[in-house]
Chain A
Amino acid sequence: MIPRLLYVPASIGLALLVLPLAGLLLKVDWPALPALLLSPEALQPLGLSLVTASVSTLLCLLLGVPLAVVIARSKPRAAGLLRALVTVPLVLPPLVGGIALLALLGRGGVLGNTLELAGLRIPFTTAAVVIAQTFVALPFLVIAVEGALRTAGIRYERVAATLGAGRGTVFARITLPLVGPGLLAGTVLSFARALGEFGATALFAGNQVGVTRTMPLAIYTAFNGSGVTTDQAVALSLLLIAVAVIILVLVGTRRASVLS
């Protein structure tokens, strides 16, 4: 029972999402594609992106799930404040995030100076890429898991406690499985966000081949590079889309098998 009028904006919205990608496919130089994709200029950023995005996602899980639990089980006021703090990076332009990270960890930064004295330099390293990606991806995981935790409530946890289960057991065997779908969604979202991260990385980590040049930076470089055709950028974009689609499909089937 949908009002027919809704189909018009719905179609336009879908077209807006799909047509650009279709346009991209039309621009692909298919005969040259294998060579472009198998070149070191493509494979190296892809490898770096997959590794850094995976590490970032892992960090998001390790830090984000406990943070989500703390927020979900806090009193309403504290929870509201924490939730707002977590959401800020989500609504911030990533470029601003990059500047903020530099201000904290860069040369002359509050923590940067201390680390420098200890012989550690974060900016413009692969570690900086991971930190930038984690910075932008963490809110997605926290919000998704926290929502799932609040929906699940504490009733099952209370029952488990009256049966004799300690807090650790309850968390591992009851709480985590209960928020499984939310956890999966949050993980996928943060991985996708980390994989596509550009702005904060560009400012905080730079664009050094093999060290900090991830796929988005490689695409930007290829697109803007002097004397290079945009074919490379298109090919790399296609690769990134393919990776994203593969992950979504893998997660989708796993999810379906879990639910069945």
Chain B
Amino acid sequence: MEYFALTNAWLIPLMPAIAFVLIGLFFKRWSALSACIAVFASAVSFILAIFAAIAVIGSGISVDAPFVGHVIWAEAAGLHFEMGMLIDPLSVMMLFVVSLVSLLVQIYSIGYMRGDKSFGRFFAYISLFSASMLGLNISANFLQMYIFWELVGLCSYLLIGFYYQRIAAREAAKKAFITTRIGDFGLLIGILLLQTVFGTVDFLELRQLLPSYIASYGTGTLTIIGILLFIGPIGKSGQFPLHVWLPDAMEGPAPVSALIHAATMVVAGVYLVARAYFLFASVPALLEFIAWLGAFTAFFGASIAISQREIKRILAYSTISQLGYMMLALGVGSLTASLFHLFTHAFFKALLFLCAGAVMHAMNDEADIFKMGGLRKKIPIVFITMTIGVLAISGVPPFAGFFSKDEILSAALSVNTPIYIIAVITAFMTAFYMARLLFVVFFGEKTNMRLHHISCFMQIPLVLLAVLSLVSGLGGYIYDFGYWIRFGAPQPEHMDISIAVLSAVLPLLAFILAWNIYVRKKWSADCIAARMGVLYTISFHKYYIDEFYAVLCRFFIDGIGRVMYFIDIYIIGGIINVISGLVLFSSTLLGKIQTGQTQRYAAAFLCGVIILLLCGILYFNKISGITAGGGVL
């Protein structure tokens, strides 16, 4: 069975794809049936993924010696398009995370989406997403990855715009697609350059070709390729400056935010960098760029999250910040730390989003946290699980986030101190705004609203994810995550005591601060905001980046478009019209000759005959003059 799962890993993405086709084509109308199909397919995928993971652990497959399979998908004049699967601990870890979170989110959605008239459509899209994401995980070459990368983008588009009757949703969907498309543009060029320079886009072949290429040509071209490739992750993983779509993406249903815009799809960028790490690691300047961008994004996201009011927006900016963390870890050279954080983050962020969804569901889709309050007693299960999630993301030991964050911090400290300091400040801010969220929603004055019931379909995934948020960090630490998922030689897990203490104390400080501000009201939040003045305004308005882009877009897209259209109509079209006008004009001139009076025609005819006769006679004269020396006339 394990062996079967390993060699037929392509079945893992295929299962949800089948579910998509079945639901989309036939069973969209029957809600219960479509949910059953989707969940069943996900469950099969998950089981296969577990078996594949067991097989990988059992059979000694490592990142250096992965299991691969190829088929030729298409070929055009010597250009091969391959579909393959690359199974190593990295991809198996992703398969496990994605299929698990996807399964749990689908179960949750049964409760969350109940009664929606597009229930079947939702499950079709979610299944398509799972299929694409799982396909992305087993990709063996850049092109295949790009294909699934685009498909997850499509699913994201469809699911953000799921409530297509809402203007905000459709605008957010469009924004997400176009913004990530800009990233894909870079990625596609990078892939095309790889194809041109190396003649292949296969990960393993590239890994073998790269050292000799660097030896003979240096890293100039590779830097360009690396930067271009990295533009893709910037778009997809919400790094500055292409992060703008991610907060808006919260227009989709909460399970979608949990699955796609927190746990799985947005980490595709991190996964891509990890997959192509051999390329990025060979250019130190590139890594440094990634590290700084990640650090900046981490800080930047946190600084916005701190002032937002909508529950899902806070979480969205927190996602941006955490993704920045992962990029930072990749940049400082620790693939292990980054993916460990990806692993734990998937669970606790999905948990947080699902909790947020549950809260909103209970509160009749109210999103502003300051209109909530005192929910602790009314929905205790959500309160408990959310608390676990908050503790996990803040990095309180022994929750999952503590271990992964600690590893990132120690990796950062060993390479680059300024980045380390930024990371520590971000960690503090993260703990603060998450505590703010928790305290404002669950403590404080009670709302008198009648709350919706939260069904068991929604509760079970919450509990399971809470458990995972609790144990995944410790489990990863004990079972030596770094032995399996690494770049280069395995690094033994170690814990730097000073960093550990610092990262344990900081969140506690942040919690106390938040407690004093938001629960005991020792210091007024408004007062602080007022004193911060400009800083608060900028943060609240997200650094005015959206406005900036809107102006840019109006000027460079619509403005230039109008100018071009003007040129098309009045210059290119104008030249054509002038030419056709000339023809018309000359024809009217010539038309004047046609008086319609036959006698004039006859006169003209006569003149013509006379002239021709004269010409003929003169000509004849000339010829006979030459030949005979005499004239007729």
Bound pair: A and B? no
